[in-house]
Amino acid sequence: MSPVNDPIGDLLTRIRNAQGARREGCTAPYSALKHELLNVLKKEGWIADVAVEGEIPEKELIVTFAPEKMKLTIKRVSTPGRRVYSPAKELKPILHGFGVAILTTSKGLMTDIEAKKQKVGGEVLCTIS
């Protein structure tokens, strides 16, 4: 299997594909950033659960979808070839406040709403609505 150039994009695509196939969840290779991203989604209620299985070379993330949530519309904003940064002042609500943007900031991964409250900007990883 060839290495993945965009691990976050790969995770988001796995989630989109599994939901399109009406699965209850999906798996993805483990990384600390992906685990933190999924924990933010869990905290916000977009997914039901995230678990880590296995040992280090075959460590995997197990994602369980929230049955009450419709199919997520996930868009990758910042890519390896085009990084997108936004200061706190320029963060706009996603889908009139019903969606969420996830940012990497100097204080860790957080939603656009939290970043605006803490007045920190960062790289916009993705939007979810």
pLDDT digits (tens, 9 = 90+) for 39-91: 999 999 999 999 999 998 889 999 999 888 778 899 999 999 999 999 999 98
> Does residue 117 lie within any of the structural domains?
yes
CATH number at residue 86: 3.30.1490.10
For the purposes of burial, counting CB atoms within 10 Å of the CB of 72, is it exposed (0-12), middle (13-18) or buried (19 or more)?
middle
What's the whole-model pTM score?
Answer: 0.91
Co-location of 11 and 61 in the same domain: yes
* Residue 55, number of CB atoms within 10 A of its CB: 6
Q: Which domain holds residue 115?
A: 74-128
**Cross-strand partners of 86:** 122
pLDDT tens for residues 78-128? 999 999 999 999 988 888 888 999 999 999 999 999 999 999 999 999 999
CATH number at residue 49: 3.30.1370.30
What is the structure's pLDDT at 2?
62
Q: How many domains does the chain have?
A: 2
Mark which of 17, 46, 65 sits at the end of a domain.
65
